[in-house]
């Protein structure tokens, strides 16, 4: 145990980011966030917002309804994004669509909202809607494995064998991408 006075909140944010993105230890993110937020009144508002953001992402992943309380302390596009993410994770796809589209109205270039919206379209088998967005996000960032995968799924569903060359190109891009996630998706 490290004494509370020696803990630096920005280190917590970095630790939460690592635990969430790479180790998928959502319970630990929640514990860290709760620990830091217990002294919220002494912290910079930007740090508090970021810590609460990672807390909400983890709560959504755990399908924990506590998210609906914590997200009320976040405003704007992030608020709607986090609610949409929670709704997607809990299978409430119509509500997720509403929230992600609200995010896009507020902030048209909110990249994560586009990616989540694609997932909702794929989950609801609305491949036509998913295709347009997945193609757009793929062309913005061809190295992102999530973009590759969603574009691949749409092409496979909508064009099938007629898109064989493009599908093989996407698979090859996944195989040569250095990220762990790309390797997992490739396999």
Share of the chain above pLDDT 90, in %: 69
Higher model confidence: residue 58 or residue 40?
Answer: 58
Among 138, 175, 141, which residue's Cα sits nearest to residue 153?
138
Mean pLDDT, all residues of the chain? 91
How far apart, in whole angstroms, are the C-alpha atoms of residue 5 and residue 182? 40
The pLDDT score that the predictor gives to residue 1 is 59
The arithmetic mean of pLDDT across residues 41-58, rounded, is 91
How far apart, in whole angstroms, are the C-alpha atoms of residue 126 and residue 181? 25
The pLDDT score that the predictor gives to residue 3 is 54
**115-159: per-residue pLDDT in tens?**
999 999 999 999 999 999 999 999 999 889 999 999 999 999 999
How far apart, in whole angstroms, are the C-alpha atoms of residue 104 and residue 91? 20
DSSP 110: -
The pLDDT score that the predictor gives to residue 6 is 46
> pLDDT at residue 7 above 60?
no
> What pTM was estimated for this model as a whole?
0.87
Which ranges of 19-163 does DSSP label H, i.e. alpha helix? 26-37, 45-61, 67-70, 76-89, 93-106, 111-123, 127-140, 145-158
CA-to-CA separations, 172 to 111, 152, 178, in angstroms, rounded? 24, 11, 12
The per-type count for the chain, helices as H runs and strands as E runs, is 11, 0
The pLDDT score that the predictor gives to residue 39 is 83
How far apart, in whole angstroms, are the C-alpha atoms of residue 99 and residue 88? 10
**75-107: per-residue pLDDT in tens?**
999 999 999 999 999 999 999 999 999 999 999
How far apart, in whole angstroms, are the C-alpha atoms of residue 63 and residue 35? 20
């Amino acid at each position: 145990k490290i004494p509370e006075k020696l803990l630096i909140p920005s280190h917590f944010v970095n630790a939460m980011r690592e635990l969430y993105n790479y180790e998928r230890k959502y319970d630990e993110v929640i514990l860290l966030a709760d620990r830091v937020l217990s002294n919220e009144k002494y912290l910079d508002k930007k740090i508090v917002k970021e810590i609460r953001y990672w807390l909400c992402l983890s709560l959504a992943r755990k399908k924990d309804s506590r998210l609906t309380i914590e997200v009320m302390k976040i405003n704007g596009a992030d608020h709607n994004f986090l609610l949409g993410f929670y709704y997607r994770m809990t299978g409430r796809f119509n509500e997720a669509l509403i929230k992600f589209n609200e995010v896009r109205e507020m902030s048209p270039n909110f990249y994560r909202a586009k990616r989540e919206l694609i997932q909702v379209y794929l989950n609801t088998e609305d491949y036509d809607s998913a295709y347009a967005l997945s193609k757009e996000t793929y062309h913005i960032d061809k190295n992102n494995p999530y973009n590759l995968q969603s574009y691949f799924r749409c092409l496979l569903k909508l064009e099938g064998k007629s898109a064989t060359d493009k599908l093989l190109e996407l698979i090859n891009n996944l195989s040569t991408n250095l990220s762990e996630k790309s390797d997992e998706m490739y396999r």
